[in-house]
Amino acid sequence: MRYGDCRWVDIDAMDKDGVVVVCPIAALEQHGHHLPLLTDTYLATEVAERVEALVSDKVLLTPTLWVGASDHHLDFPGTVSLPNTLYIEVIKNVVRCFVRAGFRRILLLNGHGGNIAPGTVAITELA
């Protein structure tokens, strides 16, 4: 199932224990001279979409969060990044929205190495 295709009444009526919210998180940054800026986003999205296709009755797939913590790539034109402190707050608030809707099984599917440290902080603070 696709989160964004649901209506709010669908989310409200959903068996929250029967699904995992899968939220791909990635980045928009340089990947050398040969790959597009959205490489991490394309890869994370593809993995998440394949999982959703295999077990669509057990997965609620969100749109990919394409902006990440990529300050270490800002010297490369085209990179878009959130500072770690803001990225932590974004992740926490996204997860809180899922929790507020009643979900308890949430998977952040990370496709960018720079998201690991701030993502870990966000998850730790949420816990």
Confidence of residue 71 (pLDDT cuts 50, 70, 90): very high
Q: For the sheet with 59-61, list strands across it.
A: 59-61, 20-25, 106-110
Average pLDDT, the chain: 97
Mean local confidence (pLDDT), 46-71 = 97
For residue 73, the SS3 value is: helix
* Distance from C-alpha of 5 to C-alpha of 58, rounded to nearest angstrom: 15
Contacts of 114 (CB under 8 A, 6+ apart): 27, 29, 68, 69, 70, 71, 72, 73
Confidence of residue 62 (pLDDT cuts 50, 70, 90): very high
